Amino acid sequence: MQSITVFAAASLADVVPNLADAWQPNSPTVRIRTSLGASGVIARQIEAGAGADLFISANHKWINYLTATGRSAGNSRVVALNQLALVLPCRTASTTDLSNPINLGQLLVSNRFAMADPSVSPAGDYTKTALERMALWDTVKKNATYAGSARLALLLSERGGLPSFVYTTDAQKSSLVCIGAKLPTDSYPAIEYVGMLPAKANGEVNKLAEAFLNWLSGPTAAAIWRKHGFAPTVPK
C-alpha cells in the first residue's frame, strides 16, 4: 500500500483526519499518516531530513524558511484561514468588553496569561504582533506564559485558569472556555494555512501528496474546513 505522510500544524488536529477520510475514496489504496506539532518545530524536523510528503504550516514564515534552506519543491498554496481569540474559563468570564484595547490591557497587565511561543508557533507570532499593534506588548509581556502551540495554550486556560490567546477554531471546540474577545483582524497578518511539498533527496515530490494538496483547496474540502470553523479558500 502506498502512503502519504502529512506533517501539519497542531491546530489542524481535528480537521486533517476528516479531510483525509473524505479524500481517501479518490485513492483507496493510499494510506495517509499524520504528524502534528508547532509549525516551527515541524519545519526544523523537515530541514533535518524528516520524511514528510506534505507540510501544512499555520503561516508563510516556515514555508519561506524551508524554501530558503532548499527543502521546498516549490509547490505551495493557501488551503484555509483562521482568526485569533482571547479565551477565559467560562466560570471566570466577565461582561467587560475585552475587544477594547484599554480593557484588554488592564486584564493582561494584572494577570498571567497564556500564549503560544512566538519562536516556534505561528499562533504566538500572530498574538505578539497583535499586542504590539495595539501598543500593549511592552507593558504586558512580563505576564506571558509560553506554550508550545495554540492547543497547549488552550489547555492552560482549561486546566490552569489562565486567559489565553488561541485560534477561534480551538476555542469553539472547547466546552470549558468562553471567547472573551476576537482580536481585530487588522491587528495581525492574515492567518493562512499553507500547504507545501518538501523536496526529496532526489528532487522529486510525492505525486499523491501533490494531488491531495490540490484537493485541499477545492470545493469538497471547503465544506469540511467550514464544518471545523476554518475559512476555506473556495467561496461558498
Question: Which one, of 183, 51, 24, lies nearest residue 104 by Cα?
Answer: 183
Q: What is the pLDDT of residue 201?
A: 67
Find the mean pLDDT for residues 61-78.
88
Give exposure, 29-43, as e/b (b: 16+ Cβ within 10 Å): ebebebebbbbbbbb
13 pLDDT higher than 60: yes
Banded pLDDT at 197 (limits 50, 70, 90):
very high
Banded pLDDT at 177 (limits 50, 70, 90):
very high
Find the mean pLDDT for residues 145-155.
95
Q: What is the pLDDT of residue 228?
A: 95
Largest CA distance in the chain: 58
Asked if residue 60 lies in contact with residue 34, where contact means CB atoms within 8 angstroms, the answer is no
Q: Is 133 helix (H, G, I), strand (E, B) or coil?
A: helix
Asked if residue 58 lies in contact with residue 39, where contact means CB atoms within 8 angstroms, the answer is yes
Q: What is the pLDDT of residues 78-87, one digit of tens each?
A: 999 999 999 9
- DSSP letter at 143? G
Cα–Cα dist 189/130, whole Å: 9
* Stated pTM of the model: 0.90
187 pLDDT higher than 70: yes
Cα–Cα dist 115/195, whole Å: 24
Banded pLDDT at 24 (limits 50, 70, 90):
confident
For residue 30, give Cα distances in angstroms to 6, 21, 27, 82, 122: 13, 11, 6, 29, 30
* Topology match between the domains 2-81+192-232 and 84-182: yes
What is the percentage of the chain residues whose pLDDT exceeds 70?
96
Banded pLDDT at 186 (limits 50, 70, 90):
very high
Burial class (CB in 10 A: 0-12, 13-18, 19+), 203: exposed
CATH class of 2-81+192-232: alpha beta
Find the mean pLDDT for residues 160-188.
93
CATH class of 84-182: alpha beta
Give 74's contacts (C-beta < 8 A, 6+ positions apart): 67
Give exposure, 147-164, as e/b (b: 16+ Cβ within 10 Å): bbbbbbbbbbbbeebbbb
- Domain chopping of the chain, boundaries: 2-81+192-232, 84-182
Beta strand spans in 90-230 (E):
113-116, 144-147, 164-167, 177-182, 191-198
User: What would the grid cell of residue 85 be?
Assistant: 481569540
